[in-house]
């Protein structure tokens, strides 16, 4: 959809089709092309419909660019080819607004809303206009950047920022890159139109993904990112940010409507992108309902909403009510509940991301913001820590805007006791212990072990898998999210997770967070063989883990066993014994065992009674059992000291046969291996237990 016209121009070649074209035909063709391109732009960017492919549209744009290049006399100033055109500016020109740009007062509660109406009714009464109520238009308050668009003779002349309300900056060149803003409109009268430039959630996520892939720092806040983009001097950079714009007001010019609702309708008719979720409310009750509804419904939209703007619908009443101080009386910003809270930074730890970058993460005393508990906040990098002047133990102001990850905005230094600790720049990776280094021109620190993140991720996935700790609901995706968000950096961290760490993450809510916390709690007690398996010791699979557990009985004895003793265990050869021995010799593994115990993991060391008939016997399974999956049946056998193999030999003691057995059934008969059907298998399973 976004043909880079700068590139198109470089590759211009006169097309033979044009050479035979008459000049007046060219003029006509240019006009038609502009119309067609604009139609498809409108359908795609305003109506969210797509009727021709990106490639086809690019091709039309390309043809237009070629014709305009060859016949500059026909090139229109507001041609679609001019959306990303012009050179980078050295600075923005100031513009004096024709209509002073007021901002709205904020309110946060239904009581304040009622007081606002009361004040307005009294004010009108004093003016001799007695009323008992108003009609209101409620609009979603998009969290973006205010823009004032001026159209003259049906064409966009100026795009300006609010600035101080009286003087803003001319950002026309950048505004033109926003495809949902029409360059031409079917009305020749002068119009001043106000709107909000924003970045969609999708574009923001895509931008951050790109930043991450390139190992660059992530943008923390879409509003600031959009605002920063609008103030970029190079329009090509602005176009890359994929901004969008809702308009909602006709504030000046030659067109005047009777009501705010009429204004919205007219703007829509003229081809502007108007947010469709506005509502005409006859009572304050309806206003409050709308406000309440959007506190949760806002999550479904692809842009951030931080409240509802309530406007008196009738324009004549708006005029009567006028302005008080720096804000109009006739409108108010009914913000969603407060999004800042204070809390204490209990610790700062470093997390290693996919790119190997180390990110400091603040561990907070849990606090509830906008309905979810928060106990972590990213600090981005050491520069941010310095900028905040943050120390461990500090009281801080925490902010959560929309669905965005919470951010520490200020340190309350006046609450310091003198016991706060400085945050040290790490010299070694907290996960693998490799050296940490800094790339030139980057603030981030990196682990020098290229495999650091991937290794840790695999370790954790193995640890929580169904043959290990079996933490239900903690799959690969969740492990990745937890690592990326820095809420875990090793397996021991899993058991320290609180609801607040999870609930504010993307894709989670309070309920799903609680569910996962419950399943982690359930997994905290674990049998010795499962525990040994989960450690991911090289060459130690499920079977070896069971064999070790049977032979030694306690974790302590496994970890202190010498090579000879390890080798005496059935199923453990020279290589496996060495691997186990080495694992428990390593300092970081001993640390890990300690940390796991500290974080509440309990190993159930009593094994099944050894008198089970299965003890020491070898089994092979074939066909489908009705009461157990094959994995479950294998686990039951191993828990009783039996082994499970995959292929039959004369040494196999039993073949367990379910429905639809394969060729193993015949082979077992040839080899003289005892065959058990499901019922017989359960009899042995339950014997002596």
Q: Considering only residues 21, 158, 432, 481, which one is a binding residue for Zn ion as defined by CB under 5 A?
A: 432
- Whichever of 449 and 643 has its CB closer to Zn ion, that residue is 449
Considering only the stretches 13-21, 196-204, 360-368, 431-439, report the one whose residues sit in contact with Zn ion under the rule CB under 5 A. 431-439
The residue count for binding Zn ion (CB under 5 A) is 7
Output 456 or 542, the one with its CB closest to Zn ion. 456
Find out whether 332 and 116 touch, Cβ atoms under 8 Å: yes
Instruction: List the one residue from 30, 312, 431, 684 that touches Zn ion (CB under 5 A).
Output: 431
CA neighbours closer than 13 Å in the CB half-sphere of residue 255? 22
The nearer residue to Zn ion, 452 or 487, going by C-beta atoms, is 452
| Beta carbons within 10 angstroms of residue 56's beta carbon | 11
Quote the CA–CA distance of 487 and 508 in Å, as a whole number: 14
Cα distance between residue 413 and residue 382, in whole Å: 19
Minimum CB–partner distance for residue 581 and Zn ion (Å): 25
Residue ranges in 580-599 that form contacts with Zn ion under rule CB under 5 A: none
Q: Could you tell me which of 148, 186, 166, 139 has the C-alpha nearest to residue 39?
A: 186
Q: Hey, what are 633's tokens? A: 């049946």
> What does the block give as tokens for 217?
């720092």
Give the separation between CA 325 and CA 100, rounded to whole angstroms: 12
For the bound state, the minimum distance from the C-beta of residue 431 to Zn ion, rounded and expressed in Å, comes to 5
Spell out the residues 6+ positions from residue 265 whose beta carbon is closer than 8 angstroms to its own.
none
Q: What are phi and psi of 246, to 5 degrees?
A: -100, 135
* Closest approach of Zn ion to the CB of residue 445, in Å: 11
User: Which is the catalytic residue, given 61, 141, 298, 400?
Assistant: 141
CB nearer to Zn ion: pick between 287 and 429: 429
Q: Which stretch binds Zn ion (CB under 5 A): 149-157, 281-289, 424-432, 436-444?
A: 424-432
- Output 357 or 535, the one with its CB closest to Zn ion: 357
Q: Which of 8, 113, 171, 429 binds Zn ion (CB under 5 A)?
A: 429
When the beta carbons of 198 and 446 are compared against Zn ion, the nearer one is 446
Looking at 77-85, 221-229, 283-291, 429-437, which segment touches Zn ion (CB under 5 A)?
Answer: 429-437
Window contacting Zn ion (CB under 5 A); options: 53-61, 372-380, 446-454, 482-490: 446-454
> Within a 10 A sphere around the Cβ of 99, how many other Cβ atoms?
12
Q: How far is CA 507 from the centre of its chain?
A: 8
537 touching Zn ion, by CB under 5 A: no
139 and 274 Cβ atoms separated by less than 8 Å: no
Contact 545, 552 (CB under 8 A): no
Closest contact distance (angstroms) between CB of 471 and Zn ion is 24
* From 126-134, 448-456, 551-559, 673-681, span contacting Zn ion (CB under 5 A): 448-456
Report the residue from 120, 375, 399, 449 that binds Zn ion according to the rule CB under 5 A.
Answer: 449
**Cβ burial, residue 254 (10 Å; 0-12/13-18/19+):** exposed
Rounded CA-CA distance 351/155 in Å is 52
Query: Can you give the C-alpha Rg of the chain in angstroms?
Result: 34
Taking the least distance from each CB to Zn ion, the nearer of 381 and 527 is: 381
Q: Which two tokens stand for residue 296?
A: 């949760």
Mark the segment that binds Zn ion (CB under 5 A) among 201-209, 334-342, 451-459, 521-529. 451-459
Give whichever of 447 and 520 is closer to Zn ion, judged by the CB atom: 447
Least distance to Zn ion from the beta carbon of 424, Å?
17
Among 226, 447, 549, 607, binds Zn ion (CB under 5 A): 447
Quote the CA–CA distance of 402 and 372 in Å, as a whole number: 11
* CB-CB contact of 313 with 135 (8 Å): yes
The least distance separating Zn ion from the CB of residue 455, rounded to whole angstroms, comes to 8
Residue placing its CB nearer to Zn ion in the complex, 382 or 532: 382
Least distance between Zn ion and beta carbon 587 (Å): 16
> What is the DSSP secondary structure assignment for residue 178, as one 8-state letter?
-
439 catalytic? Reply is: no
| Min separation Cβ 462 and Zn ion, Å | 18
> Rounded to a whole number, what is the largest CA-CA distance in the chain?
108
Whole-angstrom distance, CA of residue 152 vs CA of residue 485:
49
CB of 451 to Zn ion, least distance (A): 8
Which residues, numbered 317-336, are part of the site for Zn ion (CB under 5 A)? none
Candidate segments 26-34, 441-449, 506-514, 626-634, binder of Zn ion by CB under 5 A: 441-449
CA atoms of 448 and 549, how far apart (whole Å): 37
Task: Please select the residue that binds Zn ion; options are 64, 404, 452, 499, rule is CB under 5 A.
Answer: 452
Tell me how crowded residue 575 is: count the other CB atoms within 10 A of its CB: 10
**Residues labelled as active-site residues:** 141
Contact residues toward Zn ion (CB under 5 A) are 429, 431-432, 434, 447, 449, 452
């Amino acid at each position: 959809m976004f043909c880079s016209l700068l590139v198109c121009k470089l590759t211009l070649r006169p097309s033979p089709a044009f050479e035979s074209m008459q000049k007046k035909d060219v003029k006509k063709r240019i006009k038609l092309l502009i119309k067609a391109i604009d139609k498809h732009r409108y359908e795609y960017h305003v109506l969210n419909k797509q009727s021709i492919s990106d490639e086809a549209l690019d091709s039309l744009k390309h043809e237009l660019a070629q014709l305009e290049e060859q016949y500059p006399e026909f090139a229109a100033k507001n041609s679609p080819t001019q959306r990303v055109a012009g050179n980078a500016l050295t600075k923005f020109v100031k513009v004096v607004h024709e209509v002073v740009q007021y901002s709205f007062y904020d309110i946060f509660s239904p009581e304040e809303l009622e007081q606002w109406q009361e004040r307005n009714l009294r004010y009108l009464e004093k003016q001799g206009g007695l009323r008992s109520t108003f009609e209101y238009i409620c609009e979603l308050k998009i969290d973006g950047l205010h823009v004032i668009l001026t159209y003259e003779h049906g064409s966009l002349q100026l795009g300006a920022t609010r600035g101080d309300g009286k003087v803003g900056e001319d950002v026309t060149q950048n505004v033109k890159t926003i495809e949902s803003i029409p360059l031409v409109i079917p009305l020749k009268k002068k119009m001043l139109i106000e709107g909000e430039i924003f970045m969609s959630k999708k574009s923001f996520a895509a931008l951050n993904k790109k930043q991450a892939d390139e190992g660059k720092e992530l943008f923390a806040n879409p509003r600031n990112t959009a605002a920063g983009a609008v103030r970029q001097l190079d329009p090509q950079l602005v176009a890359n940010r994929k901004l969008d714009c809702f308009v909602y007001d006709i504030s000046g010019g030659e067109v005047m409507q009777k009501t705010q609702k009429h204004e919205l309708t007219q703007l829509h008719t003229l081809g502007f992108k108007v947010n469709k979720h506005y509502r005409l409310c006859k009572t304050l009750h309806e206003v409050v309902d709308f406000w309440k509804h959007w506190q949760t419904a806002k999550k479904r939209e692809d842009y951030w909403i931080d409240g509802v703007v309530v406007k008196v619908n009738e324009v004549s009443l708006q005029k009567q009510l006028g302005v008080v101080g720096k804000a109009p009386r006739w409108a108010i910003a009914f913000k969603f509940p407060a999004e800042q809270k204070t809390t204490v930074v209990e610790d700062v730890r470093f997390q290693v991301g996919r790119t190997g970058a180390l990110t400091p993460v603040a561990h907070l005393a849990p606090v509830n913001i906008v309905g979810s508990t928060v106990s972590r906040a990213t600090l981005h990098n050491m520069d941010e820590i310095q900028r905040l002047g943050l120390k461990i133990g500090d009281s801080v102001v925490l902010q959560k805007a929309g669905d965005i990850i919470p951010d520490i905005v200020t340190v309350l230094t006046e609450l310091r006791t003198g016991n706060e600790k400085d945050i040290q720049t790490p010299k070694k990776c907290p996960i693998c212990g490799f050296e940490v280094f800094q790339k030139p021109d980057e603030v981030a620190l990196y682990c020098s072990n290229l495999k650091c993140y991937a290794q840790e991720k695999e370790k954790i996935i193995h640890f929580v898998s169904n043959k290990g700790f079996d933490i239900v609901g903690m799959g690969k995706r969740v492990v990745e999210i937890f690592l990326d968000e820095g809420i875990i950096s090793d397996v021991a961290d899993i058991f320290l997770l609180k609801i607040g760490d999870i609930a504010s993450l993307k894709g989670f809510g309070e309920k799903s967070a609680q569910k996962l916390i419950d399943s982690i709690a359930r997994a905290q007690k674990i049998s010795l063989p499962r525990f040994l398996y989960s450690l991911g010791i090289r060459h130690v699979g499920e079977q070896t883990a069971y064999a070790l557990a049977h032979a030694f009985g306690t974790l302590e004895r496994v970890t202190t066993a010498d090579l000879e003793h390890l080798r005496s265990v059935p199923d453990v050869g020279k290589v496996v014994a060495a691997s186990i021995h080495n694992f428990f010799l390593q300092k970081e593994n001993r640390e890990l065992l300690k940390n796991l115990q500290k974080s509440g993991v309990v190993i159930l060391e009593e094994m099944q009674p050894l008198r089970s008939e299965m003890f020491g016997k070898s089994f092979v399974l074939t066909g489908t059992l009705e009461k157990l999956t094959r994995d479950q049946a294998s686990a039951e056998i191993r828990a009783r000291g039996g082994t499970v193999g995959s292929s039959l030999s004369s040494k196999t003691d039993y073949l367990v046969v379910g429905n639809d057995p394969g060729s193993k059934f015949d082979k077992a008969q040839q080899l003289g291996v005892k065959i058990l059907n499901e019922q017989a298998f359960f009899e042995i399973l339950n014997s002596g237990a």
